[in-house]
Amino acid sequence: MTNDDSKYLLDSLDGIEGLTDFNVVDYLTSPEAIAAYINDVISSGNSDLMKEAIKNVLQAKGVAKIAEQAGLTREGVYKALRPSSKPQWDTIRSLLTGLGLEVRVVAIGDSKGPALAA
């Protein structure tokens, strides 16, 4: 008997009664939800996941609107967040600011410690 996990992989939930595909964008409806999502992704330390999370939030809020608030072009935002890109800190910070978010730094192990605005 072989262990074939591929039989458990689903490309889609279409046709399975009572289940629908999950799209995180549908749940990014409040500033608190967005902040919690971004914080969770940041804690992973995965920069590709961070770019994907920012794209999800931009999709939820409207790319053109946030790009304008961030002082960037829509095309520039897409270019900065494509998989092969390595966006500058200023670009990420501008996007987060456009989303109404700020980056704070706390000491490791002290999630309630003093924060420094970035």
Q: Which CATH class is domain 17-106?
A: mainly alpha
Where exactly are the structural domains of the chain? Answer: 17-106
Measured from the Cβ of residue 45, the count of other Cβ atoms closer than 10 Å reads 8
3-state secondary structure (DSSP) of residue 81: helix
Q: Tell me, what's the pLDDT at 113?
A: 52
- What pTM was estimated for this model as a whole? 0.71
pLDDT, average across residues 36-54:
92
* Eight-state DSSP code of residue 24: G
Measured from the Cβ of residue 60, the count of other Cβ atoms closer than 10 Å reads 20
Task: Work out the pLDDT band at 15, boundaries 50, 70, 90.
Answer: low
* pLDDT higher than threshold 80 for residue 23: yes
Q: Tell me, what's the pLDDT at 114?
A: 53
Helix extents (H) in the chain: 31-44, 47-61, 63-70, 74-81, 89-98
What percent of the chain lies above the pLDDT cut of 90?
Answer: 61
- Asked if 102 and 96 count as a contact pair (C-beta separation under 8 A), the reply is yes
Q: Tell me, what's the pLDDT at 1?
A: 45
